[in-house]
Amino acid sequence: MNIDQKESFPRLARVRQVFDHQPEVQDVVGAVRAAILKSKIVERIPAGGRVALTVGSRGIQGIDKIARSAVETIQSLGLKPFVVAAMGSHGGGISEGQRALLAELGVTEESLGCPITAEMDTVSLGTNRFGLPIHFDQAAFEADGIVLLNRIKPHTSFTGEFESGLLKMLVVGLGKRQGAAQVHKLGLSGLKSLIPEVGAHLLQETRVALGIALLENARERIARVVGIEPEQLLQAEPDLLNEARLLMGRLPFDQIDVLIVGELGKNYSGTGLDPSVIGRQRVETMPDLTRPRITRLAVLDLSPETCGNALGIGLADLTTERLVKAIDPTPMRVNSLTSNFLTRARVPLSLPTDQDMLKACLDTCWRSSWAEARMVFIPNTLELENLWISAALADDLAADKTLIQETEFLPIPFQVDGRIDQRRLFPHSTQGRRLH
Q: What digits encode the pLDDT tens for the residues 366-380?
A: 999 999 999 999 999
pLDDT of residue 335: 85
Mean pLDDT along residues 216-222: 88
pLDDT of residue 2: 41
> Residue 211 and residue 233: Cα distance in Å, rounded?
8
Is residue 166 within 8 A of residue 225, CB to CB? The reply is no
Q: Is pLDDT at 410 greater than 50 in this prediction?
A: yes
Q: How far is CA 328 from CA 41, 310, 332, in A?
A: 42, 8, 7
Q: Between these two residues, 220 and 125, which has the higher pLDDT value?
A: 125
Mean pLDDT along residues 78-87: 96
Q: Is pLDDT at 4 greater than 50 in this prediction?
A: no
> Residue 379 and residue 377: Cα distance in Å, rounded?
7
Is residue 413 very low, low, confident or very high in pLDDT (cuts 50, 70, 90)? very high
Q: How, if at all, do strands 386-390 and 375-378 pair? A: antiparallel
For 3-12, 167-176, 205-214, 335-344, which range has the lowest pLDDT when averaged over its residues? 3-12
Domain edges within the chain: 12-19+249-433, 28-247
Q: Is pLDDT at 263 greater than 60 in this prediction?
A: yes
Q: What percent of the chain has pLDDT over 70?
A: 98
Q: Is pLDDT at 403 greater than 60 in this prediction?
A: yes
- HEC assignment per residue over 115-183: CEECCCCEEEEEECCCCCEEEEEHHHHHCCEEEEEEECECCCCCCCCCCECHHHHHHHHCCHHHHHHHH
pLDDT of residue 149: 98
Is residue 32 very low, low, confident or very high in pLDDT (cuts 50, 70, 90)? very high
pLDDT of residue 6: 53
* Rounded to 5°, angle at Cα 96 from 91 and 99: 75
Q: Is pLDDT at 182 greater than 50 in this prediction?
A: yes
Is residue 436 very low, low, confident or very high in pLDDT (cuts 50, 70, 90)? low
Nearest to 172 by CA among 183, 161, 163, 162: 183
Residue 66 is which amino acid? I
Is residue 1 very low, low, confident or very high in pLDDT (cuts 50, 70, 90)? very low
> Residue 406 and residue 410: Cα distance in Å, rounded?
11
Residue pLDDT, tens place only, 306-357: 989 999 999 999 999 999 999 999 999 988 888 888 999 999 999 999 999 9
**How far is CA 30 from its chain centroid?**
24
> Residue 106 and residue 110: Cα distance in Å, rounded?
10
Q: Is pLDDT at 42 greater than 50 in this prediction?
A: yes
215 φ, ψ to 5°?
A: -110, 140
Mean pLDDT along residues 28-57: 97
Please provide the average confidence, as pLDDT, over all residues in the chain.
92
Mean pLDDT along residues 262-284: 91
Q: Is pLDDT at 91 greater than 90 in this prediction?
A: no
* Span between the terminal Cα atoms of the chain, in Å: 30
Mean pLDDT along residues 379-401: 96
CATH of domain 28-247: 3.40.50.11440
Residue pLDDT, tens place only, 285-300: 888 888 999 999 999 9
pLDDT of residue 435: 60
pLDDT of residue 159: 75
Q: Is pLDDT at 5 greater than 60 in this prediction?
A: no
Is residue 85 within 8 A of residue 108, CB to CB? The reply is no
Q: Between these two residues, 228 and 22, which has the higher pLDDT value?
A: 228
The predicted model scores a pTM of 0.78
Residue pLDDT, tens place only, 44-62: 999 999 999 999 977 788 9
Q: Which residues contact 40 (CB under 8 A, 6 or more apart)?
A: 209, 210, 229
